[in-house]
């Protein structure tokens, strides 16, 4: 990957990110910890929002901001109880999705490092005593 190539371009643009998000939500929809967090089982809306966010974050079109404004990840996730168990479940599904769609290095490591960091940042529940 050159300095001028974005992760979005390197991995294959919209097509690869759509596949990543679909693989991720296939797992999330079946997950007993994560699936109840989606109001009215709005998985299609969630898929689209994650697709727009990830493509923008990784150097693609500025569609997320155009439709939803600043991501404000903590604020948008605050209503949902995210503890270590939920974070780990989310990360398991994202890791499996990255593996399933076969994202190549160095983008793979960059993306997984980001997902590890952000998923931990979004924890909003204290650990059980």
DSSP 23-88: HHHHHHHH-TTTGGGSGGG-HHHHHHHHHHHHHHHTTS-SHHHHHH-S--HHHHHTTS---HHHHH
pLDDT at 129: 45
Res. 25 pLDDT band, cuts 50 70 90? very high
Say yes or no to pLDDT of 16 above 60.
yes
Say yes or no to pLDDT of 2 above 90.
no
**Average of pLDDT values for 22-51?**
91
* More confident site: 69 or 97: 97
Q: Identify the residue whose tokens are 């190539």.
A: 5
CATH number 3.10.450.50 is the correct assignment for the domain at 7-121? no
* More confident site: 18 or 129: 18
Reported as a single tens digit per residue, the pLDDT across 65-80 is 887 777 787 778 778 8
How far apart are alpha carbons 107 and 92 in whole angstroms?
18
pTM: 0.91
Domain boundaries, the chain: 7-121
How far apart are alpha carbons 49 and 42 in whole angstroms?
11
* More confident site: 1 or 88: 88
């Amino acid at each position: 990957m050159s300095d001028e190539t974005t992760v979005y371009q390197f991995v294959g643009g919209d097509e690869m990110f759509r596949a990543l998000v679909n693989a991720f939500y296939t797992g999330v929809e079946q997950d007993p910890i994560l699936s109840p967090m989606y109001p009215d089982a709005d998985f299609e809306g969630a898929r689209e929002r994650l697709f727009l966010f990830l493509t923008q974050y990784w150097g693609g079109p500025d569609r997320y901001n155009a439709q939803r404004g600043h991501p404000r990840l903590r604020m948008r996730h605050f209503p949902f109880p995210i503890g270590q168990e939920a974070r780990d479940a989310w990360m398991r599904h994202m890791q499996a999705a990255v593996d399933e769609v076969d994202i190549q290095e160095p983008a793979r490591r960059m993306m997984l490092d980001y997902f590890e960091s952000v998923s931990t940042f979004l924890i909003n529940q204290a650990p059980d005593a």
